[in-house]
Homo-oligomer: A and B are copies of this chain.
Protein backbone atom coordinates (compact mmCIF):
# COMPACT_ATOMS: atom_id res chain seq x y z
CA UNK A 1 0.00 0.00 0.00
CA UNK A 2 1.38 3.36 -1.01
CA UNK A 3 1.88 5.92 1.71
CA UNK A 4 -0.45 8.89 1.49
CA UNK A 5 -1.07 12.10 3.33
CA UNK A 6 -4.56 12.00 4.77
CA UNK A 7 -5.74 14.94 6.85
CA UNK A 8 -8.44 13.84 9.27
CA UNK A 9 -8.20 16.64 11.80
CA UNK A 10 -10.65 19.22 10.42
CA UNK A 11 -11.95 19.70 13.94
CA UNK A 12 -8.58 21.22 14.85
CA UNK A 13 -8.31 23.35 11.75
CA UNK A 14 -9.09 23.13 8.06
CA UNK A 15 -7.26 24.23 4.91
CA UNK A 16 -8.05 27.69 3.61
CA UNK A 17 -10.13 27.27 0.48
CA UNK A 18 -8.92 28.74 -2.80
CA UNK A 19 -11.91 31.03 -3.24
CA UNK A 20 -11.32 32.57 0.17
CA UNK A 21 -7.63 33.09 -0.53
CA UNK A 22 -8.48 34.67 -3.86
CA UNK A 23 -10.90 37.03 -2.17
CA UNK A 24 -8.21 37.93 0.36
CA UNK A 25 -5.34 38.52 -2.03
CA UNK A 26 -6.29 42.04 -3.16
CA UNK A 27 -6.40 43.02 0.51
CA UNK A 28 -2.96 41.53 1.02
CA UNK A 29 -1.74 43.59 -1.89
CA UNK A 30 -3.03 46.78 -3.43
CA UNK A 31 -6.07 47.35 -1.21
CA UNK A 32 -4.15 48.04 1.94
CA UNK A 33 -5.94 51.16 3.20
CA UNK A 34 -7.00 51.40 6.81
CA UNK A 35 -10.80 51.14 6.92
CA UNK A 36 -10.88 53.93 9.50
CA UNK A 37 -9.13 56.36 7.17
CA UNK A 38 -11.21 59.00 5.48
CA UNK A 39 -9.39 58.96 2.15
CA UNK A 40 -10.55 56.87 -0.73
CA UNK A 41 -8.09 53.95 -0.30
CA UNK A 42 -9.44 53.66 3.25
CA UNK A 43 -13.08 54.09 2.28
CA UNK A 44 -12.87 51.35 -0.33
CA UNK A 45 -11.67 48.93 2.31
CA UNK A 46 -14.41 50.06 4.68
CA UNK A 47 -16.96 49.25 1.99
CA UNK A 48 -15.48 45.78 1.55
CA UNK A 49 -15.61 45.11 5.28
CA UNK A 50 -19.20 46.20 5.51
CA UNK A 51 -20.06 43.95 2.60
CA UNK A 52 -18.34 41.08 4.41
CA UNK A 53 -20.40 41.90 7.46
CA UNK A 54 -23.60 41.71 5.40
CA UNK A 55 -22.58 38.36 3.94
CA UNK A 56 -21.75 37.00 7.36
CA UNK A 57 -25.05 38.22 8.76
CA UNK A 58 -26.96 36.72 5.85
CA UNK A 59 -25.32 33.33 6.35
CA UNK A 60 -26.46 33.28 9.98
CA UNK A 61 -29.89 34.85 9.60
CA UNK A 62 -28.70 37.95 11.45
CA UNK A 63 -28.58 41.68 10.72
CA UNK A 64 -25.24 43.24 9.73
CA UNK A 65 -25.16 45.44 12.86
CA UNK A 66 -25.35 42.28 14.91
CA UNK A 67 -22.01 40.92 13.69
CA UNK A 68 -18.70 41.89 15.20
CA UNK A 69 -15.48 40.47 13.87
CA UNK A 70 -12.97 39.07 16.32
CA UNK A 71 -9.56 37.43 16.20
CA UNK A 72 -11.10 33.97 16.55
CA UNK A 73 -13.43 31.70 18.47
CA UNK A 74 -11.60 32.07 21.76
CA UNK A 75 -11.93 35.83 21.70
CA UNK A 76 -15.58 35.62 20.66
CA UNK A 77 -16.31 33.33 23.62
CA UNK A 78 -14.45 35.56 26.05
CA UNK A 79 -16.17 38.73 24.87
CA UNK A 80 -19.56 37.04 24.99
CA UNK A 81 -19.35 35.52 28.43
CA UNK A 82 -17.14 37.93 30.32
CA UNK A 83 -18.70 40.86 28.47
CA UNK A 84 -22.20 39.78 29.52
CA UNK A 85 -21.07 39.19 33.09
CA UNK A 86 -19.39 42.58 33.34
CA UNK A 87 -22.40 44.34 31.85
CA UNK A 88 -24.37 43.24 34.91
CA UNK A 89 -24.50 45.35 37.99
CA UNK A 90 -23.33 43.03 40.71
CA UNK A 91 -22.83 39.30 40.45
CA UNK A 92 -25.34 36.69 39.43
CA UNK A 93 -25.71 33.12 38.32
CA UNK A 94 -24.69 31.62 35.00
CA UNK A 95 -24.76 28.11 33.72
CA UNK A 96 -22.79 26.20 31.18
CA UNK A 97 -22.21 22.57 30.32
CA UNK A 98 -19.37 20.41 31.53
CA UNK A 99 -18.38 19.59 27.94
CA UNK A 100 -17.66 23.11 26.71
CA UNK A 101 -14.42 24.16 25.07
CA UNK A 102 -11.81 25.59 27.43
CA UNK A 103 -12.45 29.04 26.02
CA UNK A 104 -15.89 28.89 27.64
CA UNK A 105 -15.18 26.70 30.64
CA UNK A 106 -12.16 28.63 31.84
CA UNK A 107 -13.90 32.00 31.56
CA UNK A 108 -16.75 30.63 33.65
CA UNK A 109 -14.29 29.21 36.15
CA UNK A 110 -12.63 32.61 36.51
CA UNK A 111 -15.95 34.34 36.91
CA UNK A 112 -16.68 31.88 39.68
CA UNK A 113 -13.46 32.97 41.33
CA UNK A 114 -14.63 36.56 41.06
CA UNK A 115 -17.87 35.93 42.91
CA UNK A 116 -20.29 34.81 40.20
CA UNK A 117 -22.18 31.64 40.85
CA UNK A 118 -21.57 29.08 38.12
CA UNK A 119 -23.43 25.84 37.52
CA UNK A 120 -21.71 23.21 35.39
CA UNK A 121 -24.46 21.16 33.81
CA UNK A 122 -23.92 17.41 33.62
CA UNK A 123 -24.30 15.53 30.33
CA UNK A 124 -25.52 12.05 29.56
CA UNK A 125 -23.28 9.28 28.21
CA UNK A 126 -23.57 10.75 24.72
CA UNK A 127 -22.48 14.18 25.85
CA UNK A 128 -26.00 15.60 25.58
CA UNK A 129 -27.18 18.45 27.79
CA UNK A 130 -30.90 18.08 28.36
CA UNK A 131 -33.14 21.15 28.30
CA UNK A 132 -34.85 19.79 31.41
CA UNK A 133 -31.56 19.81 33.28
CA UNK A 134 -31.05 23.39 32.18
CA UNK A 135 -34.54 24.34 33.35
CA UNK A 136 -34.02 22.71 36.71
CA UNK A 137 -30.73 24.52 37.26
CA UNK A 138 -32.18 27.98 36.71
CA UNK A 139 -32.40 30.43 39.58
CA UNK A 140 -33.98 33.83 39.90
CA UNK A 141 -30.55 35.43 39.53
CA UNK A 142 -29.55 33.43 36.42
CA UNK A 143 -28.56 35.90 33.70
CA UNK A 144 -26.67 33.75 31.21
CA UNK A 145 -26.73 30.24 29.77
CA UNK A 146 -23.86 29.10 27.56
CA UNK A 147 -24.20 25.76 25.80
CA UNK A 148 -22.24 24.86 22.70
CA UNK A 149 -23.99 24.05 19.43
CA UNK A 150 -21.85 21.00 18.79
CA UNK A 151 -19.04 19.45 20.75
CA UNK A 152 -15.55 19.65 19.33
CA UNK A 153 -14.37 16.30 20.64
CA UNK A 154 -17.24 13.89 20.29
CA UNK A 155 -19.34 15.78 17.76
CA UNK A 156 -22.56 15.64 19.78
CA UNK A 157 -25.06 18.23 18.60
CA UNK A 158 -26.80 19.88 21.53
CA UNK A 159 -30.49 20.85 21.63
CA UNK A 160 -29.71 24.56 21.46
CA UNK A 161 -33.03 25.67 19.97
CA UNK A 162 -34.89 24.19 22.94
CA UNK A 163 -32.47 25.71 25.41
CA UNK A 164 -32.71 29.01 23.54
CA UNK A 165 -36.49 28.96 23.72
CA UNK A 166 -36.47 28.41 27.44
CA UNK A 167 -33.91 31.14 27.98
CA UNK A 168 -35.81 33.60 25.81
CA UNK A 169 -39.07 32.93 27.67
CA UNK A 170 -37.41 33.83 30.95
CA UNK A 171 -35.42 36.78 29.66
CA UNK A 172 -32.09 35.06 30.28
CA UNK A 173 -29.23 35.64 27.83
CA UNK A 174 -28.22 32.62 25.79
CA UNK A 175 -24.78 32.19 24.28
CA UNK A 176 -23.73 29.31 22.09
CA UNK A 177 -20.23 28.39 21.00
CA UNK A 178 -20.96 27.40 17.41
CA UNK A 179 -17.31 27.16 16.41
CA UNK A 180 -17.64 23.51 15.39
CA UNK A 181 -21.16 23.79 14.02
CA UNK A 182 -20.87 26.63 11.54
CA UNK A 183 -20.23 25.15 8.11
CA UNK A 184 -21.35 21.69 9.18
CA UNK A 185 -24.87 22.31 10.41
CA UNK A 186 -27.52 24.87 9.43
CA UNK A 187 -27.05 27.74 11.88
CA UNK A 188 -29.78 30.36 12.13
CA UNK A 189 -29.60 32.73 15.07
CA UNK A 190 -33.34 33.43 15.04
CA UNK A 191 -34.34 29.79 15.04
CA UNK A 192 -31.81 29.00 17.73
CA UNK A 193 -33.08 31.93 19.77
CA UNK A 194 -29.56 32.88 20.77
CA UNK A 195 -28.38 36.27 21.92
CA UNK A 196 -24.71 35.55 21.39
CA UNK A 197 -23.05 33.10 19.02
CA UNK A 198 -19.33 32.51 18.46
CA UNK A 199 -17.65 31.24 15.31
CA UNK A 200 -14.11 30.86 14.01
CA UNK A 201 -13.18 31.03 10.33
CA UNK A 202 -10.44 28.42 10.27
CA UNK A 203 -12.92 25.70 11.14
CA UNK A 204 -14.83 26.15 7.87
CA UNK A 205 -11.97 26.57 5.42
CA UNK A 206 -11.49 30.22 6.20
CA UNK A 207 -8.30 31.85 7.47
CA UNK A 208 -6.81 31.44 10.94
CA UNK A 209 -6.87 34.33 13.39
CA UNK A 210 -10.33 35.65 12.60
CA UNK A 211 -13.77 34.89 13.93
CA UNK A 212 -17.04 36.59 14.65
CA UNK A 213 -19.50 37.11 17.42
CA UNK A 214 -23.19 37.52 16.75
CA UNK A 215 -24.60 39.99 19.26
CA UNK A 216 -28.36 40.24 19.15
CA UNK A 217 -29.62 43.81 19.08
CA UNK A 218 -29.79 45.38 22.55
CA UNK A 219 -27.77 42.64 24.23
CA UNK A 220 -25.89 44.27 27.11
CA UNK A 221 -22.18 43.63 26.66
CA UNK A 222 -19.19 45.40 28.21
CA UNK A 223 -16.15 45.51 25.93
CA UNK A 224 -13.05 43.84 27.32
CA UNK A 225 -10.58 45.98 25.38
CA UNK A 226 -10.40 49.73 25.01
CA UNK A 227 -9.01 51.71 22.14
CA UNK A 228 -10.37 52.89 18.81
CA UNK A 229 -14.06 52.56 18.18
CA UNK A 230 -13.84 49.64 15.75
CA UNK A 231 -16.51 46.92 15.75
CA UNK A 232 -18.89 49.07 17.74
CA UNK A 233 -16.18 49.35 20.40
CA UNK A 234 -16.62 45.71 21.26
CA UNK A 235 -13.42 44.79 19.50
CA UNK A 236 -11.23 47.85 18.98
CA UNK A 237 -8.02 47.79 16.92
CA UNK A 238 -7.22 47.98 13.23
CA UNK A 239 -9.27 45.29 11.54
CA UNK A 240 -7.73 42.10 10.20
CA UNK A 241 -9.01 43.10 6.78
CA UNK A 242 -7.91 40.10 4.68
CA UNK A 243 -9.07 37.80 7.47
CA UNK A 244 -12.53 39.33 7.56
CA UNK A 245 -12.88 39.14 3.79
CA UNK A 246 -11.74 35.51 3.84
CA UNK A 247 -14.13 34.64 6.66
CA UNK A 248 -17.13 36.03 4.82
CA UNK A 249 -16.24 34.29 1.57
CA UNK A 250 -15.60 30.92 3.22
CA UNK A 251 -18.77 31.18 5.27
CA UNK A 252 -20.96 32.07 2.32
CA UNK A 253 -19.64 29.14 0.33
CA UNK A 254 -19.86 26.75 3.28
CA UNK A 255 -23.50 27.61 3.78
CA UNK A 256 -24.23 27.23 0.06
CA UNK A 257 -22.59 23.83 -0.07
CA UNK A 258 -23.92 22.65 3.26
CA UNK A 259 -26.64 20.18 2.20
CA UNK A 260 -24.39 18.45 -0.30
CA UNK A 261 -21.34 18.45 1.97
CA UNK A 262 -23.29 17.23 4.93
CA UNK A 263 -24.68 14.29 2.98
CA UNK A 264 -21.24 13.39 1.66
CA UNK A 265 -19.47 13.63 5.03
CA UNK A 266 -22.15 11.65 6.82
CA UNK A 267 -21.68 8.77 4.39
CA UNK A 268 -17.91 8.81 4.90
CA UNK A 269 -18.33 9.18 8.64
CA UNK A 270 -20.66 6.24 8.98
CA UNK A 271 -18.48 4.00 6.88
CA UNK A 272 -15.46 5.01 8.96
CA UNK A 273 -17.27 4.36 12.23
CA UNK A 274 -18.39 0.99 11.02
CA UNK A 275 -14.88 0.03 10.01
CA UNK A 276 -13.41 1.15 13.31
CA UNK A 277 -15.93 -0.65 15.45
CA UNK A 278 -15.35 -3.77 13.39
CA UNK A 279 -11.80 -3.84 14.77
CA UNK A 280 -13.32 -5.05 18.02
CA UNK A 281 -13.12 -3.83 21.60
CA UNK A 282 -13.89 -0.33 20.42
CA UNK A 283 -16.75 2.01 21.34
CA UNK A 284 -18.16 5.05 19.62
CA UNK A 285 -17.98 8.21 21.72
CA UNK A 286 -20.67 10.83 21.30
CA UNK A 287 -24.20 10.56 20.08
CA UNK A 288 -24.86 8.00 17.35
CA UNK A 289 -27.20 10.24 15.36
CA UNK A 290 -27.26 13.77 16.85
CA UNK A 291 -23.72 14.19 15.63
CA UNK A 292 -21.64 16.45 13.42
CA UNK A 293 -21.46 15.06 9.89
CA UNK A 294 -17.67 15.06 9.98
CA UNK A 295 -16.96 13.75 13.46
CA UNK A 296 -15.76 10.27 14.34
CA UNK A 297 -14.61 9.54 17.88
CA UNK A 298 -13.85 6.00 18.93
CA UNK A 299 -12.11 4.59 21.99
CA UNK A 300 -9.99 1.48 21.61
CA UNK A 301 -9.71 -0.57 24.71
CA UNK A 302 -6.20 -1.44 25.96
CA UNK A 303 -4.56 1.21 23.76
CA UNK A 304 -3.40 4.68 24.58
CA UNK A 305 -4.59 7.43 22.25
CA UNK A 306 -1.33 9.22 21.74
CA UNK A 307 0.31 6.01 20.65
CA UNK A 308 -2.45 5.57 18.07
CA UNK A 309 -2.00 9.12 16.94
CA UNK A 310 1.74 8.73 16.58
CA UNK A 311 1.34 5.47 14.74
CA UNK A 312 -1.13 7.04 12.34
CA UNK A 313 1.09 10.09 11.87
CA UNK A 314 3.94 7.83 10.79
CA UNK A 315 1.60 6.52 8.10
CA UNK A 316 0.70 10.03 6.97
CA UNK A 317 -2.65 10.26 8.75
CA UNK A 318 -3.31 13.42 10.82
CA UNK A 319 -5.66 12.69 13.71
CA UNK A 320 -6.34 13.79 17.24
CA UNK A 321 -7.03 12.19 20.59
CA UNK A 322 -8.58 12.91 23.95
CA UNK A 323 -5.62 11.24 25.60
CA UNK A 324 -4.02 13.15 28.43
CA UNK A 325 -0.65 12.59 26.88
CA UNK A 326 -1.54 14.56 23.76
CA UNK A 327 -2.04 17.67 25.80
CA UNK A 328 0.87 17.16 28.13
CA UNK A 329 -1.53 17.25 31.05
CA UNK A 330 -2.18 14.28 33.25
CA UNK A 331 -5.94 14.33 32.98
CA UNK A 332 -7.59 12.97 29.86
CA UNK A 333 -10.29 14.95 28.08
CA UNK A 334 -12.79 16.58 30.44
CA UNK A 335 -15.44 15.87 27.82
CA UNK A 336 -14.95 12.12 27.85
CA UNK A 337 -14.73 12.08 31.63
CA UNK A 338 -17.94 14.13 31.93
CA UNK A 339 -19.62 11.53 29.71
CA UNK A 340 -18.66 8.90 32.24
CA UNK A 341 -15.98 7.04 30.30
CA UNK A 342 -13.49 5.14 32.41
CA UNK A 343 -9.97 6.45 32.54
CA UNK A 344 -8.68 3.78 30.22
CA UNK A 345 -11.27 4.26 27.49
CA UNK A 346 -10.91 8.00 27.78
CA UNK A 347 -7.21 7.61 27.21
CA UNK A 348 -7.78 5.36 24.24
CA UNK A 349 -9.91 7.80 22.27
CA UNK A 350 -9.16 8.65 18.68
CA UNK A 351 -10.83 11.57 16.93
CA UNK A 352 -11.00 11.59 13.14
CA UNK A 353 -12.70 14.68 11.72
CA UNK A 354 -13.61 14.72 8.06
CA UNK A 355 -13.72 17.73 5.78
CA UNK A 356 -13.92 19.02 2.25
CA UNK A 357 -10.86 17.23 0.88
CA UNK A 358 -11.69 13.79 2.19
CA UNK A 359 -12.95 11.01 -0.02
CA UNK A 360 -13.75 7.32 0.15
CA UNK A 361 -10.10 6.65 -0.56
CA UNK A 362 -9.13 8.40 2.68
CA UNK A 363 -11.47 6.23 4.67
CA UNK A 364 -10.12 3.10 3.05
CA UNK A 365 -6.57 4.17 3.73
CA UNK A 366 -7.12 4.98 7.40
CA UNK A 367 -8.89 1.73 8.02
CA UNK A 368 -6.13 -0.15 6.25
CA UNK A 369 -3.31 1.41 8.27
CA UNK A 370 -5.19 1.47 11.53
CA UNK A 371 -6.07 -2.23 11.72
CA UNK A 372 -2.49 -3.51 12.01
CA UNK A 373 -1.58 -0.59 14.27
CA UNK A 374 -4.37 -1.40 16.70
CA UNK A 375 -3.35 -5.02 16.56
CA UNK A 376 0.30 -4.24 17.22
CA UNK A 377 -0.42 -1.83 20.08
CA UNK A 378 -2.84 -4.23 21.69
CA UNK A 379 -0.34 -7.04 21.54
CA UNK A 380 2.22 -4.95 23.34
CA UNK A 381 -0.25 -3.55 25.85
CA UNK A 382 0.21 -4.47 29.48
CA UNK A 383 -3.56 -4.37 29.85
CA UNK A 384 -4.59 -6.60 26.96
CA UNK A 385 -6.02 -9.87 28.16
CA UNK A 386 -5.41 -11.52 24.76
CA UNK A 387 -7.78 -12.10 21.87
CA UNK A 388 -11.22 -13.05 23.07
CA UNK A 389 -12.62 -15.82 20.99
Contact = CB atoms under 8 A, between A and B. Distances in A.
Interface string A284-312: 00000000000000000000001001101
Interface in A62-84: 71-75, 77-78
Contact of A107 (B38, B40, B226, B319): B226
B9 A208 contact: no
Contacts of A106: 226-227
B13 A33 contact: yes
A208 B38 contact: no
Interface string A228-247: 10000000111111110000
A103 B226 contact: yes
What is the interface residue range for chain A against chain B?
A: 35 or more
Given A102-B227, A227-B103, A228-B74, A326 B38 contact: yes
A30 B318 CA distance: 14
A15 interface: yes
A107 B71 CA distance: 19
A237 B104 CA distance: 12
Contacts of A2: none
A32 interface: yes
Contacts of A319: 39
A128 to B, nearest CB: 24
A98 B204 CA distance: 44
Contact of A16 (B29, B109, B207): B29
Nearest to A31: B15
Contact of A38 (B210, B241, B306): B306
Contacts of A21: 28-29
Contact of A209 (B7, B200, B210, B318): B210
Given A103-B227, A318-B40, A240 B238 contact: no
Contacts of A15: 29-30, 32
A122 interface: no
A208 B13 contact: no
A236 B77 CA distance: 11
Nearest to A246: B28
A320 B38 CA distance: 8
A353 B306 CA distance: 53
A202 interface: yes
Interface in A6-37: 7, 9, 12-16, 21, 24, 28-30, 32-34, 36-37
A114 to B, nearest CB: 11
Given A73-B238, A78-B227, 14 more contacts: A9-B34, A9-B42, A12-B37, A21-B28, A33-B318, A38-B313, A38-B321, A39-B313, A39-B320, A42-B318, A78-B226, A103-B236, A209-B209, A209-B238
* 3 tightest A-B CB contacts, nearest first: A209-B240, A74-B237, A103-B227
18 contacts: A7-B41, A9-B33, A9-B37, A9-B41, A13-B33, A15-B30, A38-B313, A38-B320, A39-B319, A39-B320, A74-B225, A77-B227, A78-B224, A78-B225, A107-B226, A110-B226, A208-B242, A208-B243
